[in-house]
A and B are shown apart, each in its own frame.
Chain A
């Protein structure tokens, strides 16, 4: 880790609510160096990545795929475990972790459109091809498109933050991935 994590006893006043007795994520313990940034970032991340009107499976597809394309070790490891919990299969996780784009052989049409959108947003530069957007719009409403796009963009931000600071994955996450053959 590039910066030292702020240990619980040193947690600033604004950061204290984000510390957990069972362990605190390195995103929190690093952001705690700048508590006013932590105080807005964590609620933002919680709203965008957490439970919402979009089902958890679709959100984890976006997060894992984005993180794979951005080559963020921390986010890939953390969200592969979360994806399994949201109903994504081990085989699907393996497919998401492939750096080939577009994904081949994905069963659900709506998810194929979603993953094509993620690949275009996260893996490209400049304008996103109109046909990819139109395919997405065929399956998702305007609010859903906005939310999924914001999720992809927020994941990119987190990917670069976690990668640049070399945040370590937790031992339970690594153990889980090892058990599932996803190390």
Chain B
């Protein structure tokens, strides 16, 4: 199947995801990849990401997603994001705890580029938020977001919850008031369920989601290409392979074509049941 057609028809997502790394300065209780400071880094080299991004544009992809781990632990990440954004619009997922001093200054060239940094903020008060994400997470995030917004850098807020459908409306309103006050509008706030993989699986948290429940979005890691950014998870220190598409990641047409073939004539928008994006 033609990759561009599959993207145009919505059978596979238009965003190519790149797992920059697996290590992180946090150790969140629901982390899909069991990321933490000491884990195997599984870094994708910047030149590799840039090459795949250029191929993605040629194949008909419309955007890029960079995730990890915490991508901004890699010193070269801001410069790479700027280069990637000249190829396709970029969303970078971050815990938002590193944006001070030298690292914050390094982000300034991203102003005005088609880049959004998606920062996790789960609860409107520090205590419950930090119970999931670690000490002082809340304070660091609410300090970082305005700094980015002031510098003209796009910011999205992602809220990850065990049960979004039963989310207390009053708490949700407090959280929305908070992100608005920080300079992030409702259109840039996403709420999504915890996916029961990685550390969430170990902790008996979240919803189970397999290939049929997830939007197919090609995702590249140092270990191969996967069918979703929720695919290359780590459980018990071992990489999950149930959503592995191919070990081959270059040329990008190999995993992209394989994913399009796997999806076949599947209905577009099949992730609607869980709303996982």
- The chain A residues found within 8 Å of chain B, CB to CB, are 6, 9-14, 32-36
A35 touches B245 (CB 8 A): yes
Residues of chain B within 8 A (CB-CB) of A34 are 247
- The chain B residues found within 8 Å of chain A, CB to CB, are 211, 227, 240-248, 254, 258, 262
Count A-B contacts at CB 8 Å: 36
A9 touches B247 (CB 8 A): no
Do A36 and B247 contact each other (CB < 8 Å), given the known contacts A13-B211, A14-B258?
yes
Per the bound structure, the CA–CA distance linking A34 and B240 in Å amounts to 13
Per the bound structure, the CA–CA distance linking A127 and B17 in Å amounts to 51
Per the bound structure, the CA–CA distance linking A6 and B241 in Å amounts to 8
Q: How far is the CB of A83 from chain B (nearest CB, A)?
A: 35
B243 touches A36 (CB 8 A): no
Do A11 and B247 contact each other (CB < 8 Å), given the known contacts A36-B254, A36-B258?
no
The main secondary structure of chain A at its interface with chain B is: loop
Per the bound structure, the CA–CA distance linking A6 and B236 in Å amounts to 15
Q: Which residue of A lies closest to B242 (CB)?
A: A10
Q: Which residue of B lies closest to A4 (CB)?
A: B238
Q: How far is the CB of A63 from chain B (nearest CB, A)?
A: 29
Residues of chain B within 8 A (CB-CB) of A12 are 241-245
Q: Which residue of A lies closest to B244 (CB)?
A: A12
- The contact sample of 15 A-B pairs, CB cut-off 8 A, is A6-B241, A9-B242, A10-B242, A11-B241, A11-B242, A12-B243, A12-B244, A12-B245, A13-B211, A13-B244, A13-B245, A13-B262, A14-B258, A35-B244, A35-B247
Q: Which residue of A lies closest to B227 (CB)?
A: A13
Residues of chain A within 8 A (CB-CB) of B254 are 36
Q: How far is the CB of B129 from chain A (nearest CB, A)?
A: 33
Per the bound structure, the CA–CA distance linking A12 and B211 in Å amounts to 10
Residues of chain B within 8 A (CB-CB) of A35 are 244-247
Q: How far is the CB of B261 from chain A (nearest CB, A)?
A: 9
Residues of chain B within 8 A (CB-CB) of A9 are 242
A14 touches B248 (CB 8 A): no
A13-B245, A36-B248, A36-B254 given; name 16 further pairs at CB < 8 Å.
A10-B240, A10-B241, A11-B241, A11-B242, A12-B241, A12-B242, A12-B243, A13-B227, A13-B242, A13-B243, A14-B262, A32-B241, A33-B247, A34-B247, A35-B247, A36-B246
Residues of chain A within 8 A (CB-CB) of B245 are 12-14, 35
Q: Which residue of A lies closest to B239 (CB)?
A: A10
Per the bound structure, the CA–CA distance linking A35 and B244 in Å amounts to 8
Per the bound structure, the CA–CA distance linking A32 and B240 in Å amounts to 12
Residues of chain A within 8 A (CB-CB) of B227 are 13
Per the bound structure, the CA–CA distance linking A9 and B233 in Å amounts to 14
Residues of chain B within 8 A (CB-CB) of A14 are 245-246, 258, 262
